[in-house]
Chain A
Amino acid sequence: METLATKIKIFESAIRLSRFLPRKAMTRLRYLFFIMMILSVIALVTSSLLTPGLYETKTIGLSLIFLGLWLEQVCLYIYHNSFYFRGLDSIVGQEAKTKTGITYEVAEMTLGNPDDLTGAFFSSKIGQHILARLNIATTEYSNLLDSARHKITSQDIPLQTNQTTTLIDISRHLYMYDIDLQQWLTKQAVTREIFQGAVNFVVKSHHAYKRQLRWWSRDQLSHTVGIADELAYGTAFELEKFSRNLYDGAVYSDLGGSAPHTQVLIEKIEQILARSKASNVLLIGNAGVGKMDILIQVAKRFKTGKGLNSLSGQHLILLDSEQLFALCSEPTTLEQELITMLNQAAEAGNVSVVIENIGNFITKGASLGVSIPELLDTYLAIPNLHIIGTDSPNQYHNVIEPLGAFAKRFEEILVEPADIEHTTTILEPIALQEEVRHKIFFIYEAIETITKSADRYLTEGAMPDKAITLLVEIASNADRENVSIITPEYIHTYISNKTGIPVGPMNDDERDTLMHLEDKLHERIVDQVAAVSAIARTMRRARADIERSDKPIGSFLFLGPTGVGKTETAKALAEVFFGSEDTMVRFDMSEFSGEDALERLIGGFQRTGALSDRLQEHPYTLVLLDEFEKANVAVHDLFLQILDEGYFTDNRGNRVNLRNAIIIATSNAGSDLISHTSNIRTEQPLLNQNIIDHIIKARILKPELINRFDSTIVFEPLTESAQHNITRLMLNELTDRIQTRGYNIVINADVIPLLVERGFDARFGARPLQRVIQNLVEEKIAKLIITGSLQKGDTIDLNLADFTSEELAATTV
C-alpha cells in the first residue's frame, strides 16, 4: 500500500522552490520584470524615434533581458502551480483527472517533519490557524511537542486509492492513532467534533481561496455566460417589467447550496422542470428554511451549464407580485397584464416564473376579483413554461390544497429546516465574511454555539435563517463593544441578555442558587422535603446541560390532595428559575375536557390556541396544568409528544417550542390513598409506586404518559407543625405587605393555633387559610386604620385577646 512518504517525493522540488522563493515573491518578481520589459520596449521605441541609431541596440538588449527574466518567472509560476493546485478538484466534487495522491498542503506539512506528523501538522501555517480557531495558545502546543510521546511518521499513513488525501484526512488519522494528541486536546476542552469541525473549516476555506486564485479552472470559467445564448430564445418584455432574474439578484449567495440534503432537492427540482408534462414545482417550507437559496442554486446551475442538458439556457425569473398589484389595481388590467406576460414567457421558451408565497398571490388576486388559479391553469399545462411557487405549510394547507385540481398541477417539494451540523457548515463562510467586515475572529466553537443556541433558544424563524441572523447580530454587537475574539462565552452572554434565560457556564450567583435550590424553595414551601429535593435534582441536571436538549427543561407530575402546596411549589420554582412567578402560566385543565379541548389549546381553523399563543410570546415559561387528569384524552396525547420531543405543531403548521419551558401537571388523583397511607409511609419510593399503580389501574392517566414526566412527585398531607409553619409564613407575608404601606404590625404567635384550627381542612388542605386570615387579621387591621387607631409609622402588637368574640366568630364561615 502507498503511504504518505512515497507520495511527497514528487512535491519536493516545488516545495523547496517555494521555500527559497515564496509564491508572493514570485508574483512580485513576475510583475516587476514585466513592467521593466514594457518600459524597455517604450525606451526602444522612443530612442529610435528621437535619436535613431544611437541607443537602439542597448534598448533591444535590455528588452530581451527582461523578456527572458519575465518568461523565466512565468515558467516558474506555471511549474509551481501544477503542484500547488493539485487535488483541488476533488474538494469541489468535480471529476478530477487523477483521483489519487495528496494535496500540496499535505506535502508541505509532511516535509516540514516527516518523522513527527503531529508536530508537523501543528507547526504548519494551516495548523497554526487551526490552533487559533480552537483557541489554544502556542505555549500549550509547545508543551505537547516537548512531551515524550509516540510519534506518527509519514510511513504510518496509508493513502486511499480512490480519493485525494487532504489535511482533513490526515487530521482524522492523527486524532485516531495519536493517543497523546487526543488526551492533550481533551485537556484543552476540545472534543473530537470540535477539532474535526475546526480542521474542516480552516482547510475548506483555504481550498476556497485557492479555487478563487485559479481563475483559469473549469469551475471559474464556467461562470462566464455565453454571449449568444439569448439569441436562441425569445424575450418576455412584459414579464421583465415586473420581475428580476434570480441569478442576477444574488450572484454571491451560496447559502446551503452545497449541503447533501439541498443537493437532493436541487436535483429533484431539475428533474421536474425537465419533464414534458406537469413541470411545475411548489416548494413548501417555513420562512427561513432557504427555499429561495435552493432556487438560486438551481438558477446558478442553469447559468453555468451544470444543470440537465435539456434545461440549459433556462432563466428563473422572480415575479415581483407587489409591483404587479400596485400597478394593476383594476381586475381587467391585472388579468391582461398576467396573460400577456405569461404568453410572452411561454413563447420565449426558456423562462421559469418563480412566484414567491403563491398562496398570498392567489388571495391578493381574489381580493381584486381575479381568480389567479383559473388564469394560471392554462399555463401550468404548457411544457415550455415552468411555474415555480413557494409557500409556507400553513398557507399551502389553507389556500392551495383546497383548490384541488390547481394544487395537482404542481409537484410538491417539502423543504425541511437544516439540521445542526449542516447549519454550522452554512455559517462558516458567513462567519468569514463577518470577520472581514467587523475585524473580528470567531473561535470555531463559537460558531457551533451560535447554531446550537439559535436552535434551542430562538423560537422565531427556522434554521438556518435564524442562526445566520444571530451570527450577523453577534458580529456587529461585538464590533460595537470592541470585542475582537468571539468565544462561546461571549455567545452565551449575548443569548442570556437577549432571551433572559441563563445559558452557558454558570456564574457564582447562579451556582449558589442551584446548589441551594432546596433551601430557596423551602423559603416558600413548608415540608414536602421529598418533593422539593426531587425538583431540585432535576433542575440541577437540566442546568448542567446533561439532560437531553430536545425535551422541556423539566417536567413534573405533582400528585397529592388539594391545598398541600403543589401550586405554591410551581410558583416558587418559576420565581427561582425564571426570576418571577409571573412567568408561570396556569391552565385549569378541567376546562379542557370537552371535544374541542385540543383546538382550544393549540388552535383550530378559526381560532388561535391558548397554549400556542402563550408559548410563542413567552417561550421561557413555567406551564402549570392544574387537574391534569380531567383533560380530554386528545390533550393527554398531545402532551405525550410535548414531553418527549419538546414541541408540537399548531393549527397554522408552526412548530411551537417547549424546550425552554418547565411543565408541571398537578392532579388530585389518588389523594385519598395518599391521605390514608400517609401515616404508614416509611419507604417513600415503594408507596409512591403504589399510588402511581392505583392511578394507572383506575385508568386516570395512561402509564406511558406518567413515564414521560421527568419525575412524579407525591405531596404529603400537611402535618400539624407544617400547618403552623405555613400560617407563620402567610402572616409574615401579610405584615411585610402592610409595612410597605407604612404601618408596623407584630402578630403574636398565640393567634396561630386558632388560625390553624379554622384554616386547615382535611379535604382542602391549606386552601381555606387565606380566607381565614383575611376575615380575621386583615379585617382587624383595616378597622384599626379606618378608626384612626393605627397611624402611619405606628407599631402595634396584635394578640388573640385583641379580637372580640364577634370577630372570632366571623372566621368560622
Chain B
Amino acid sequence: MQFFSLPELFSSLFSPYKRIVESRTVGFNLEAWAGVIIINIMSRLIGLLVRTIIIVVGISTLTIFTFVGLFSYALWIGAPLVITGSILSGIYLWW
C-alpha cells in the first residue's frame, strides 16, 4: 500500500499531472481562456491515466502477494506433512 502510494493516488486521482496547470490571464481573451482550459483538462487527463495505471499495477501486485501470503501460511501450517512428504517421496522416486 505504502510502496504504491495507493491512498495518495486515490485522493488525487483527478488532480492535474504533477500540478502542471496554466493560470488565467488578466482580462477576458477567448483564445487564452480556451487554451488554459484545454491545457488544464489535458493535465488532469494525463494525471488520471498515469494514476490509474499505477493503481491497477498496485492492486494486482497486492492481490498476488495476498495469495502468496495465504499459500505460505498454508505451507507453514502443513510444513511437517509437506517436508516429510517431499523427502520421503523424493527418496522413493530416487530409489
Chain A residues within CB distance 8 Å of chain B: 57-58, 60-69, 71-72, 75, 78, 222, 224, 226-235, 305, 313, 347-349
Contacts and interface: CB of A to CB of B under 8 A. Distances in A.
Given A75-B76, A227-B5, A229-B5, A65 B83 contact: no
Interface in B1-33: 2-5, 8-9, 11-12, 15, 17-20
B86 A226 contact: no
B74 interface: no
Contacts of B8: 226, 228-229, 231-232, 313
Given A63-B90, A226-B2, A226-B8, 13 more contacts: A60-B93, A61-B95, A62-B94, A65-B87, A65-B90, A65-B91, A71-B86, A222-B2, A226-B3, A228-B54, A229-B5, A231-B18, A234-B19
A62 B83 contact: no
Contacts of B90: 60-68
Contacts of A229: 5, 8
Interface residues of B, number: 33
B5 A64 contact: no
A68 B5 contact: no
Interface string B57-95: 000000000000000000110010011111101111111
Contacts of A66: 90
B50 interface: yes
Residue of A57, A222, A232, A349 with highest tally of chain B CB at under 10 A: A232
B93 A57 contact: yes
A13 to B, nearest CB: 16
Q: Top 5 A-B pairs ranked by shortest CB distance?
A: A61-B93, A64-B90, A234-B19, A61-B94, A68-B86
Given A231-B51, A231-B54, A305 B2 contact: yes
A367 to B, nearest CB: 34
Contacts of B95: 61
Given A64-B93, A67-B90, A234-B19, A226 B4 contact: yes
A236 to B, nearest CB: 10
A231 B83 contact: no
A228 B5 contact: yes
Nearest to A57: B93
Contact of A64 (B11, B76, B79, B89): B89
B20 A227 contact: no
A66 B2 CA distance: 36
16 contacts: A57-B93, A58-B93, A60-B90, A60-B93, A61-B95, A63-B90, A64-B87, A68-B82, A71-B83, A78-B76, A226-B8, A228-B4, A228-B51, A229-B8, A231-B9, A348-B19
Contact of B9 (A61, A69, A228, A233): A228
Residue of B9, B84, B86 with highest tally of chain A CB at under 10 A: B86
B87 A68 contact: yes
Contact of A68 (B11, B20, B84): B84
Contacts of B76: 75, 78
Interface in B33-57: 47, 50-51, 54
B68 to A, nearest CB: 14
B18 A235 contact: yes
A615 B83 CA distance: 76
B90 to A, nearest CB: 3
B3 A232 contact: no
Contacts of A305: 2
A232 B12 contact: yes
A64 B84 CA distance: 10
A78 to B, nearest CB: 8
Contacts of B83: 68, 71-72, 75
B18 A234 contact: yes
A232 B15 contact: yes
B10 to A, nearest CB: 10
